[in-house]
């Protein structure tokens, strides 16, 4: 017997959410871009690289639809990030606090795969199950290892769906947990030894990770893992005018939600 989200007290009303996900807040813009986008799209992508770039930097479409800028800064940074994902290379966004690493990560995932929710939050207590898989121990004890007892991580779910998986604060995770990503990124597969099977990544799968420059040395990435990422450094705003634009835009967005 299944229990609905409403019956269990879990809210599914995105309209009343305190902070809707990017793909919900900007659904109209994403739909308009998809309709105007006649360029080639990489396998599994909702938009072409050109449209993803326009979504992030802002533009006005031929039909008059205004696409608001999500990232105020260097166009080159955005183009390198989008090109990295288009070539199936994992992306690592590095910068000091306040350089919009998480913000850019979320909007990239929303534009590329339409889902920014497959997220692992890195902390000193993050376990290997968070990036691989875990078990429903009640079912495991009752039935033994089975697919029904398997609890997939956001990374495994992203692989199965062909979506973008996000990892926040990668360098805060213990080194052995970080290295659990090496097989995922190099082989594009995640073995489940207990079941004798593996989950193969579908087209469109990729990883976007973020790391804080000031946390360097907490848990440095191994050279093997670092080689599997293309690193993009996010700079601080170039000028006071850019800072004013960023603050003004965010205040307007918060004002609309209130």
184-207 pLDDT, tens digit each: 999 999 999 999 999 999 999 999
Dihedral pair phi/psi, residue 67, rounded to 5°: -100, 115
Percent of the chain with pLDDT over 70: 84
Residues 6+ apart with CB under 8 A from 156: 132, 133, 190, 199
pLDDT in tens, 208-230: 999 987 765 577 888 999 999 99
Q: pTM for the complete prediction?
A: 0.87
Number of neighbouring beta carbons within 10 Å of residue 157: 16
What are the sequence ranges of the domains in the chain?
Answer: 90-257
Sign of CA dihedral 90, 168, 120, 124: positive
Interior/surface letters 204-216, b for 16+ CB within 10 angstroms, e for the rest:
bbbbbbbbbeebe
Task: Note the pLDDT of residue 4.
Answer: 47
- Direct distance between the N- and C-terminal alpha carbons of the chain, in angstroms, rounded to an integer: 39
Task: Note the pLDDT of residue 240.
Answer: 62
Q: Pick one of 3.40.50.300, 3.40.50.720, 3.30.390.10, 3.90.25.10 as the CATH number of 90-257.
A: 3.40.50.300
Number of neighbouring beta carbons within 10 Å of residue 175: 12
Cα–Cα–Cα angle for 11, 206, 89, nearest 5°?
155
């Amino acid at each position: 017997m299944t229990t609905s989200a409403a019956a269990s007290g879990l809210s599914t009303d995105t309209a009343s959410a305190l902070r809707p996900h990017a793909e919900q807040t900007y659904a109209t813009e994403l739909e308009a871009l998809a309709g105007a986008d006649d360029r080639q799209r990489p396998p599994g992508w909702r938009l072409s690289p050109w449209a993803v770039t326009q979504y992030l930097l802002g533009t006005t479409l031929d039909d008059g639809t205004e696409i608001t800028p999500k990232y105020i800064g260097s166009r080159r940074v955005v183009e390198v990030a989008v090109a990295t994902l288009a070539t199936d290379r994992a992306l690592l966004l590095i910068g000091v606090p306040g350089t919009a690493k998480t913000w850019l990560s979320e909007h990239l995932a929303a534009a590329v795969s339409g889902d920014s929710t497959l997220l692992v939050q890195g902390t000193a207590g993050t376990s290997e199950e968070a990036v691989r898989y875990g078990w429903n121990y009640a079912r495991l004890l009752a039935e033994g290892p089975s697919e029904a007892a398997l609890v997939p991580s956001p990374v495994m779910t992203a692989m199965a769906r062909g979506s973008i998986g996000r990892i926040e604060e990668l360098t805060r995770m213990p080194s052995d947990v970080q290295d659990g990503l090496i097989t995922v990124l190099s082989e594009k597969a995640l073995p489940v030894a207990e079941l004798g099977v593996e989950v193969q990544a579908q087209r469109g799968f990729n990883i976007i990770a973020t790391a804080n420059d000031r946390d360097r040395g907490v848990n440095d990435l191994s050279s093997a893992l670092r080689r599997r990422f293309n690193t993009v450094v996010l700079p601080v705003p170039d000028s006071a005018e850019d800072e004013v634009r960023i603050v003004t835009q965010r205040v307007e967005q918060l004002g609309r939600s209130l």
